[in-house]
Structure 1
Amino acid sequence: MATVVQTAAFPVLFIPLFLFRSAKDTSTSTNPPSILVLLLIYFSLGSVIALDNWLYSTGLLYLSASTYSLVCASQLAFNAVFSYFINSQKFTILISNSVIILSLSSALLAVDDDSERPSGVSKSKYFFGFICALGASALYSLLLSLMQLTFQKVLKRETFTVVLEMQIYTSIVATIVSVVALFASGEWKSLPHEMAGFGKGRVSYVLTLVGTAVAWQTCSVGVVGLIFIVSSLFSNAISTVSLAVTPLAALVIFHDKMNGVKIIALLLAIWGFVTYLYQNYIDESKAQRRRNEMGESRVERSPC
């Protein structure tokens, strides 16, 4: 059920899609992709999302939260590799520093807690959960790079509606695949028992699922939007920063304890994030100077 929840709230995105859709939807391509190509892309990405969600859910089922977070921290390193080969991402010293520091920040935060095998979980299941979490991290990173490639090489549209469409259509496919898997595996039979055993009651159980599903869609739109605007690596870097910022939110909301390890992890995350932002600032400044030089050269060549 956890796999279904991660994509099932896609209908709420039709509201912003309707509000933001423009009749003058510009495109940088004179030959827009065919319906068949779009269907193939959305079906492929949606199926990968469903598989990735299942791997993440399975990994969390058999691993402790700290071990799970530690393994998932590897997704930024995977993303760096995929971005280099698929998206031709240029790696400067600042970007490399940012990737390393953010990964270390997440790893440091994860090992702060007890990472022993959860009680009742056998060694084989623990190993299976580890493989699932590691595979999910690699697959998620590949997915982000493929989305960036799709935006750049296939869709080539300049409006934000393309982000909503990407999220909606891939979520439709992922939800269908997840629901089919839910019934095929027979897991749906345990849902009434799970609902009845929820401490706050059936209504709270349903509201929790709905709230979680909407939150997942909000997060996913942000992730895909950052891919569209900046890059898959930047989007993943933001996600990694949030892992280190979580203890700070827990301190404010739940009055959780803030120990030295969490503070160091937070400072490392800020350092890595600021480094990445500074590299983007340098790149944008260079691009702006080139645009200004091109504008000046055109003015000089124009006839009087």
Structure 2
Amino acid sequence: MKRALLLLNIILLSIGNCGGPLLLRLYFLHGGKRIWFTSWLQTASWPVILLPITIAYLHRRRGTTIQPSSSSPPPHTKLILMKLPLFIASAAIGILSGFDNYLYAYGLARLPVSTSALIIASQLGFTAVFAFLLVKQKFTSFTINAVFLLTIGAAVLAMHTSNDRPDGESNKLYVLGFAMTVAAAALYGFIMPLVELTYKKAKQEISYALVMEFNMVMCFFATGFSTVGMLVNNDFQAIGREAREFEFGEGRYYLLVVGSALILQCFFLGGIGVIFCASSLLSGIIIAVLLPVTEILAVIFFQEKFQAEKGVSLVLSLWGFLSYFYGEMQQNKQKKKQTLETEMPPIPSSPC
């Protein structure tokens, strides 16, 4: 059951991680200019999580109908499972996520998708460090090699970045976008192990229904953070005008922003779902593994340049992926071998 749940969350994470950047970049390329608005879009569809939460609640209620009745219903039949300490933790992580969304949106507005995707891959290095510090993540030689290669692969992009600067954009804005994207990668690399630590320290049983509630609260506060920025920047008043001036038309503008919000919600739910099923490090690995897909899609749909630095970075990233998964396969084989040896009954000694 948990493997199926892990697969489901990997699929959600893949959809959000590959589709989200492409849709947001499409917004910026064809007339969109509101950075706070795109930051808001990344978590604004949090109400859709109410549907699976309600379904999970009805499933729990149906499961209790076959049990003998008692004077008070068991706690797991409540609609809201989250206790106050976990609520406070998810709210705090949500505010951090809102700030991270702004950093990411700013970087994406200034950089091609392929470049920003490769920079975001550097978050694996930050995730590994914070996972070691916060949740005492254990590392094998293969894991260390993978993290090193993936981080170096992203760092290669710092070489000759001016050649990849979009037409009409100043060097100052491009460098600032590069720095903001790196900061977004570092902050999200901290947020993922923080979520895992919260799961471990929660003084209640963590179920997937609770994970969905956690995601909803986190996205609610992240959206609140971005809403304040939108109010200060007068983004709400500008949306109608921006929609009318959008190159693809007003209707497709609203279709784009709604689709972006829904797909990016898959990213957040999938990410913390993978952490629940496995670990924050695996969530970071999967995000990095999806890098070549995002690269190829950006080149196909946006005709972005694929320079030598990106090629070197991509090769190093793929090498890192292979190293990680090979290490996982070897570790699983060793565990199975040890399990068989411990379960094998001792051979009785022959009488003298």
TM-score normalised by L of structure 1: 0.79
Secondary structure at 1:48's aligned position in 2? Answer: helix
Alignment check: 8 A CA contact 1:3 1:50 kept: yes
1-side partners of 2:49 and 2:285: how far apart?
Answer: 24
From 138, 142, 154, the equivalent of 2:190 is: 142
Query: Structure 1, unaligned stretches of length 5 or more?
Result: 28-32, 298-304
Superposed CA RMSD in Å reads 3.5
Residue 79 of structure 1, CA deviation: 1.3
Would the alpha carbon gap of residues 61 and 256 (structure 1) be closer, same or farther in structure 2, given more than 3 Å must change? closer
The answer on 1:3 being equivalent to 2:75 is: no
2-side partners of 1:155 and 1:286: how far apart?
Answer: 34
Question: Which residues in structure 2 correspond to 1:93-242 (within 5 Å)?
Answer: 93-106=141-154, 114-116=163-165, 119-121=168-170, 123=172, 125-154=173-202, 157=205, 159-242=207-290
1-side partners of 2:143 and 2:284: how far apart?
Answer: 13
Residue 219 of structure 1, CA deviation: 1.9
Residue 225 of structure 1, CA deviation: 1.6
2-side partners of 1:236 and 1:76: how far apart?
Answer: 5
Alignment check: 8 A CA contact 2:142 2:324 kept: yes
Alignment check: 8 A CA contact 2:150 2:320 kept: yes
The answer on 1:83 being equivalent to 2:144 is: no
Question: Which residues in structure 2 correspond to 1:9-24 (within 5 Å)?
Answer: 9-21=45-57, 23=60
Which amino acid is the alignment partner of residue 144 of structure 1?
M
From 292, 301, 306, the equivalent of 1:244 is: 292
Deviations 1:166-206 (CA, angstroms, capped at 9, x unpaired): 21111111112211221123232322221111122211111
Would the alpha carbon gap of residues 254 and 65 (structure 1) be closer, same or farther in structure 2, given more than 3 Å must change? closer
Alignment check: 8 A CA contact 1:196 1:202 kept: yes
Would the alpha carbon gap of residues 111 and 222 (structure 1) be closer, same or farther in structure 2, given more than 3 Å must change? farther
Would the alpha carbon gap of residues 109 and 130 (structure 1) be closer, same or farther in structure 2, given more than 3 Å must change? closer
Deviates more, 1:58-67 or 1:172-181: 58-67
Alignment check: 8 A CA contact 1:247 1:262 kept: no
1-side partners of 2:321 and 2:203: how far apart?
Answer: 29
Alignment check: 8 A CA contact 1:78 1:138 kept: yes
TM-score normalised by L of structure 2: 0.70
Deviates more, 1:268-277 or 1:168-177: 268-277
Would the alpha carbon gap of residues 182 and 260 (structure 1) be closer, same or farther in structure 2, given more than 3 Å must change? closer
Structure whose alpha-carbon radius of gyration is higher: 2
Deviations 1:139-160 (CA, angstroms, capped at 9, x unpaired): 1110011011112221664532
**Greater relative contact order (CA < 8 Å, ≥ 6 in sequence):** 2
Deviates more, 1:59-68 or 1:163-172: 59-68
Secondary structure at 1:83's aligned position in 2? Answer: helix
Query: Structure 2, unaligned stretches of length 5 or more?
Result: 1-36, 65-74, 76-80, 346-352
